[in-house]
């Protein structure tokens, strides 16, 4: 049980490493652009914002009684960023840009590439229920933008999430290495250039 929990924790850490690191870098960049003071808590907010769409894993658990890769259908809706930006910009441009860019980088990360755990998100929802992936292959044919129906995704993502996490992150594919390197890079930037 403890081993399983530790394994799950390590896999989740690696799965979130790229998004979390980009969140830190975005806080750094926008604090410089807007001359906004930063603190540990704002960096933590950047990490949480960059990861927040994935809490739909828990929504999937509640509504579908399962947790697997096919959870990107509850909080992964990019078109909602426009009204969100509009609303937040009344209060603070720093937070409006930070929140929206953290979410956009998460959505782009979920959509780009050809790894097995990439099938995109519902970029056009509520106008289309299909998933859109960038720079990937479908039936061995490469395309800049691929379209998947929910039914195709359901067929593709059928494993339970422990084996999905383990295969995609714990066996150290390139993505896990990129996540760790990006995390180290973000820490170096924050500690050396943050002042």
Q: CB of 71: closest distance to Zn ion in angstroms?
A: 8
Residue closer to Zn ion (CB basis): 54 or 175? 54
Give the ranges where the chain is alpha helix by DSSP (H). Answer: 2-33, 40-51, 56-64, 81-89, 93-111, 150-156, 161-165, 174-193
Q: CB of 72: closest distance to Zn ion in angstroms?
A: 6
Query: In angstroms, rounded to a whole number, what is the distance separating the alpha carbons of residues 78 and 123?
Result: 6
Q: CB of 56: closest distance to Zn ion in angstroms?
A: 8
Residue closer to Zn ion (CB basis): 110 or 175? 110
Residue closer to Zn ion (CB basis): 72 or 146? 72
Phi, then psi, of 121 in degrees rounded to 5: -140, 180
State the residue for tokens 């894993």: 57
Question: What is the 3 state secondary structure string of 36-63?
Answer: CCCCHHHHHHHHHHHHHHHHHHHHHHHH
Q: CB of 106: closest distance to Zn ion in angstroms?
A: 6
Residue closer to Zn ion (CB basis): 53 or 179? 53
Residue closer to Zn ion (CB basis): 33 or 108? 108
Radius of gyration of the chain (CA): 17
Q: CB of 97: closest distance to Zn ion in angstroms?
A: 20
Q: CB of 114: closest distance to Zn ion in angstroms?
A: 17
> CA-CA distances (angstroms) from residue 122 to 10, 74, 84, 129, 191?
28, 10, 17, 6, 37
Q: Which residues bind Zn ion (CB under 5 A)?
A: 53-54, 110
Residue closer to Zn ion (CB basis): 120 or 183? 120
> CA-CA distances (angstroms) from residue 186 to 93, 125, 176, 180, 195?
23, 32, 15, 10, 14
């Amino acid at each position: 049980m403890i081993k399983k929990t530790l394994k799950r924790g390590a896999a989740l850490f690696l799965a979130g490493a790229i998004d979390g690191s980009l969140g830190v870098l975005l806080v750094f960049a926008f604090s410089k652009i807007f001359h906004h003071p930063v603190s540990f808590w704002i960096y933590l907010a950047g990490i949480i914002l960059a990861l927040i769409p994935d809490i739909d894993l828990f929504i999937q658990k509640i509504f579908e009684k399962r947790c697997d890769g096919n959870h990107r259908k509850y909080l992964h809706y990019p078109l909602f960023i426009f009204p969100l930006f509009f609303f937040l910009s009344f209060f603070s441009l720093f937070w409006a840009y930070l929140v929206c860019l953290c979410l956009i980088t998460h959505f782009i990360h979920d959509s780009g590439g050809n790894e097995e755990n990439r099938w995109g998100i519902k970029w056009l929802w509520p106008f289309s229920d299909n998933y859109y992936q960038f720079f990937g292959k479908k039936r061995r044919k490469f395309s800049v933008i691929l379209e998947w129906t929910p039914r195709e995704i359901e067929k593709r993502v059928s494993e339970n999430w422990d084996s999905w996490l383990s295969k995609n992150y714990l066996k150290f594919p390139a993505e896990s290495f990129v996540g760790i390197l990006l995390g180290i890079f973000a820490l170096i930037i924050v500690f050396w250039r943050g002042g």
